[in-house]
Amino acid sequence: MGKLFNVSSSPHVRSKHTTQAIMFDVAIAMLPASIYGVWQFGMHALLVLIATVLSCVLSEYVFEKCMKKPITIYDGSAVVTGMILALNMPPQIPVWMPVLGGVFAIIIVKQMYGGLGQNWMNPALAARCFLLISFAGKMTTFSEPFSDAVASATPMAMLKAGEQVDVAAMFIGRIPGTIGEVSVIALLIGAAYLVVRKVISLRIPLTYIATVAVFAAIYSGFDMTYVAAHICGGGLIFGAFFMATDYVTSPITPKGQFVFGIALGLLTALFRIFGGSAEGVSYAIIFCNILVPLIEKYTLPIAFGKKGGKK
């Protein structure tokens, strides 16, 4: 009787990953795309990045202070929201627009629903869609690389119009576009960091990208240049690794993550190919965010010994 085991109650799993550490890793992972965007588009892009992050952090602080809630700006989630929103902005956009978007993302989408962990869609993407609807002209005007000259069209717009595009330039990033989406190389470096750090799983990103590729291949008669352009163009890589994998607004079940990725890919391809806009990543992600509770309802594993399937 002297050698008894002391068993504590669950949970027994312990992890060193904190919210702050995860957000810090995500911010680090976005640095290659941020640095490339600033290098290619100039100091105004840096100003947009800094101002948007500050607007998100200050919005969260002021709201929580006024509502007498615990201050959570130190967990890094507002910084990540600001970075994602800024990297989705055109390089020469007036600074006050992404600042307004940051306030919308934090107060309307995040804090109004209870703060981190309670928001029902990605705050940064919700803000981007809000700005796209409100300021369509400014949000779809892009600069040429290393110049203040306005580009006539992005590669995705050219692709939609049936024109030829330079896939190699799209992969490197020597194209007009938003600050953070242009360089696939920079984004993949950041994505690799997140995978190595075990911050994200590859289920959603790879399923998402593969679904878009299959759809584009079937639609184009297996034109691989067309498929590669869809993978490298627009915000697909950025969205797949940095936005679709958001812990709060994506499924937690493995099966649900595959379903989520397929739904994202189908909607993105449909929006791009048959919709009025050449891009569809943002709308596809926030639409699928709304479907997450339904996806998890039908992909939740059955508890051991409960409701077993009939033989």
Is residue 288 situated within a structural domain? yes
Give the amino acid at 130. F
Q: What is the pLDDT of residue 37?
A: 95
- 43 touches 212 (CB < 8 A): no
35-70 confidence digits (pLDDT tens): 999 999 999 999 999 999 999 999 999 999 999 999
- 166 touches 35 (CB < 8 A): no
Cα 204 to Cα 252: distance, rounded to the nearest angstrom: 11
Is residue 123 situated within a structural domain? yes
pTM of this prediction?
0.89
Burial of 248 (0-12, 13-18, 19+ CB in 10 A): middle
Residue with tokens 């989408």: 109
211-242 confidence digits (pLDDT tens): 999 999 999 999 999 999 999 987 899 999 99
Q: What is the pLDDT of residue 190?
A: 97
Find all residues with CB under 8 Å of 235, minimum gap 6, and list them. 88, 178, 181, 279, 281, 282
Q: What is the pLDDT of residue 158?
A: 86
CA 110 to chain centre: 15
Q: Coil, helix or strand for 276?
A: coil
Is residue 11 situated within a structural domain? no
Is residue 29 situated within a structural domain? yes
Is residue 2 situated within a structural domain? no
CATH number for position 175: 1.10.3430
Residue numbers of the domain that contains 272 = 19-298
Is residue 91 situated within a structural domain? yes
Q: How far is CA 157 from CA 3, 33, 121, 170, 210, in A?
A: 73, 22, 27, 13, 21
Q: Coil, helix or strand for 150?
A: strand
Q: How many domains does the chain have?
A: 1
Q: What is the pLDDT of residue 10?
A: 46
Q: What is the pLDDT of residue 234?
A: 76
Is residue 4 situated within a structural domain? no
Q: What is the pLDDT of residue 228?
A: 94
Is residue 65 situated within a structural domain? yes
Q: What is the pLDDT of residue 305?
A: 58
> Residues in the chain with pLDDT < 50?
1, 9-13, 311
Q: Coil, helix or strand for 143?
A: strand
